[in-house]
């Protein structure tokens, strides 16, 4: 399989949000039609906020859709840096509020302890996921896969684990993240990026000798990848 990513270039961010939200809704609708259920893992941060708001309004049978985050900071779910807090203001505010949502952050006293409970909950989901939505930082990280996290090499090579607790040196807060094993146990991956700086990092990561965390996604041969970009 020569699974080369497809690059979809949009003229501006508003159009990107509209096109990507429509495309994700169509993928979920197809999964609902074919399987009677669908699942969606989405990334946090500020880039996808408008897209997720649009997606949350899509006329889907949301109670049959499992939603979750790709990664989360180990902070209270009403914290300003919580991805769940962002998700509840965007995707989970409209029709999609009736979806089955699995939080990554639980009541454990640390991400390290929380990952064991979360692992069991993730294991109980129906796999593969219908779609995984990823972002990318200007350092080439995706999800919470950071080069400088002590857990990075274990995360890269784990073949059974669904999630990892990580402590990146270059980013605040301990985090919980889906593993590459979980992300690649999916039917489709979309990468959502904006801005020329990230486009330059993406072009470098697409080369075969690149070693960015996002390179794991770009060069794997298991799941088709579409990259959506706007200036």
Tell me: the pLDDT tens digits for 101-136? 999 999 999 999 999 999 999 999 999 999 999 999
- Please name the residues in contact with 206: beta carbons below 8 A apart, sequence gap of 6 or more: 5, 218
**CATH architecture assigned to 6-172+180-229:** 3-Layer(aba) Sandwich (3.40)
Report DSSP letters for 94-151, one per residue. SGGGGSEEE-S--SSSSHHHHHHHHHHHHHTS-SSBSEEEE---TTS-BTTB-TTSTT
- The whole-number pLDDT of residue 207 equals 86
Rg from Cα positions in the chain: 16
- Could you give the angle at the alpha carbon of 48 between the alpha carbons of 106 and 44, nearest 5°? 20
- The whole-number pLDDT of residue 208 equals 75
- Could you give the angle at the alpha carbon of 206 between the alpha carbons of 43 and 73, nearest 5°? 20
β-bridge partners, 42: 69
Instruction: Tell me which residues of the chain have a pLDDT lower than 50.
Output: none
Question: Which whole-number Å values give the CA distances from 155 to 39, 59, 63, 111, 127, in the listed order?
Answer: 23, 37, 32, 15, 19
**Statement: the pTM of the whole predicted model exceeds 0.95:** yes
- Please name the residues in contact with 223: beta carbons below 8 A apart, sequence gap of 6 or more: 3, 132, 184, 186, 187, 188, 189
Q: Retrieve residue 193's tokens.
A: 């990026």
* Angle between helix 13-35 and helix 49-56 axes, rounded to 10 deg: 40
- The whole-number pLDDT of residue 3 equals 79
- The whole-number pLDDT of residue 2 equals 67
């Amino acid at each position: 399989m020569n699974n080369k990513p497809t690059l979809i270039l949009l003229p501006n961010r508003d159009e990107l949000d509209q096109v990507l939200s429509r495309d994700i809704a169509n993928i979920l609708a197809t999964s609902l039609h074919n399987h009677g259920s669908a699942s969606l893992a989405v990334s946090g941060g500020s880039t996808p906020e408008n897209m997720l708001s649009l997606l949350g309004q899509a006329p889907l049978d949301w109670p049959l859709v499992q939603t979750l985050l790709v990664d989360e900071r180990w902070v209270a779910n009403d914290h300003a840096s919580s991805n769940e807090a962002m998700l509840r203001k965007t995707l989970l505010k409209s029709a999609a509020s009736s979806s089955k949502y699995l939080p990554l952050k639980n009541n454990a006293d640390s991400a390290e302890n929380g990952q064991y409970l979360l692992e069991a909950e993730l294991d109980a989901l129906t796999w593969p996921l219908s779609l995984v939505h990823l972002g990318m930082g200007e350092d080439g990280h995706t999800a919470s896969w950071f080069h400088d996290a002590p857990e990075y090499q274990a995360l890269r090579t784990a073949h059974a684990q669904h999630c990892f607790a990580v402590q990146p040196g270059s980013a605040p807060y301990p985090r919980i993240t889906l593993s590459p094993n979980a992300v690649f146990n999916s039917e489709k991956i979309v990468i959502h990026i904006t801005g020329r700086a990230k486009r330059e990092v993406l072009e470098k990561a697409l080369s075969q000798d690149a070693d960015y965390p996002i390179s794991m996604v770009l060069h794997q041969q298991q799941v088709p990848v579409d990259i959506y970009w706007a200036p």
